[in-house]
Amino acid sequence: MAEDKAPLTRPSRYLTRMAVFVALVAGIAALLSPALYGYFMGNPAVNGVILGILVAGIIYIFRQVMRLNPEVAWIERFRRNQANLSSEDMPRLLSPMATMLGDRRGGSASGATRPISRARTCRACCRRWRPCSATAAAAA
């Protein structure tokens, strides 16, 4: 039972670990740079593409982990019964779960019983899982 109220691990802890690891790898690459430069120049076009994709992937993964901060904060507020399920700060990554939890709070055990107008989502203009004003206007 005490396990249910344990706080979630914050993503910033893992961001720090990721940054330290990337810095260590960059430091080792800097130490080995004379030898790596010779290998890199063996085929600079392909190796440049590989390095570019590596950097883009690192940036993407850091961004994805940073996007978890609001999600974790929302879950913690929800667990403390402080989350407003109809507000604009609903989680983007966890919006299906937020909708399901909102249905349960409202007395409904499943999403199948919610009204059709609420189930419509806007994927055309803003790619949100919840209805936006344009979707509501089109439905009316």
Both structure tokens of 63: 């961004």
Has residue 20 got a pLDDT over 70? yes
Query: Treating both helix axes as pointing N-terminal to C-terminal, what angle do 68-79 and 95-105 enclose, rounded to 10 degrees?
Result: 10
Per-residue confidence (pLDDT) for residue 92, from 0 to 100? 75
pLDDT tens profile 93-139: 777 777 777 666 654 433 444 444 444 455 556 655 555 666 566 65
39-70 exposure pattern, b = at least 16 Cβ within 10 A, e = fewer: eeeeeeeeeeeeeeeeeeeeeeeeeeeeebeb
pLDDT tens profile 31-90: 999 999 999 999 999 999 999 999 999 999 999 999 888 888 877 877 777 656 555 566
- Cβ–Cβ < 8 Å for 101, 85: yes
Per-residue confidence (pLDDT) for residue 118, from 0 to 100? 44
